[in-house]
């Protein structure tokens, strides 16, 4: 079910990606990507920019490729890096929040299939004020930047 979808998703990617830049929205989601995974979990990253004058909050992330999608942060507990689930991720007015390996990320839990380099993963970010922003996350190799 994964493979036949791939060419279609690749064709749609530039169109869908441009939807992230919604003219009516103060929130811009850029540099979206997902880490290739052969296990049942994966991660996606992005740069979220609030160009408006009001604070907003990322309250939910959705993707059809996973059973469950969570917003996570990484923190050091002593000498150990630990992941922690966030109920919401504030993006204050004029601020840019970067989700990147080693920091905040979108966790894809219970993947329905492997996420392969060159594919892309549909990812919807839901904001309190800006609402739903649909994006496509191109998949990059697991080695890039680590986790």
Among 25, 72, 136, 137, binds Cu ion (CB under 5 A): 72
* Closest approach of Cu ion to the CB of residue 68, in Å: 11
Among 13, 97, 107, 109, binds Cu ion (CB under 5 A): 107
Angle, CA of 140, 142 and 147, to the nearest 5°: 110
Do the Cβ atoms of 63 and 54 come closer than 8 Å? Answer: no
Closest CA to 138 of 127, 126, 122, 125: 122
Q: Report the site for Cu ion in 12-71 (rule: CB under 5 A).
A: none
* Closest approach of Cu ion to the CB of residue 49, in Å: 22
Q: Does 141 bind Cu ion (CB under 5 A)?
A: no
Binding site for Cu ion (CB under 5 A): 72, 83, 107
């Amino acid at each position: 079910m994964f493979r036949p979808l791939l060419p279609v998703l690749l064709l749609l990617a530039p169109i869908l990606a441009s939807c992230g830049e919604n003219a009516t929205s103060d929130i811009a989601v850029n540099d979206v990507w997902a880490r290739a995974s052969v296990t049942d979990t994966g991660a996606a990253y992005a740069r979220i920019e609030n160009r408006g004058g009001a604070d907003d909050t990322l309250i939910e992330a959705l993707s059809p490729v996973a059973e469950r999608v969570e917003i996570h942060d990484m923190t050091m507990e002593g000498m150990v890096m630990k992941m922690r689930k966030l109920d919401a991720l504030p993006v204050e007015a004029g601020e840019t929040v970067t989700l990147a390996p080693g920091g905040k990320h979108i966790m894809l839990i219970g993947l329905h299939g492997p996420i392969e380099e060159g594919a892309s993963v549909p990812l919807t970010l839901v904001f309190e004020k800006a609402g739903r922003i649909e994006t496509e996350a191109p998949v990059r190799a697991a080695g890039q930047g680590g986790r």
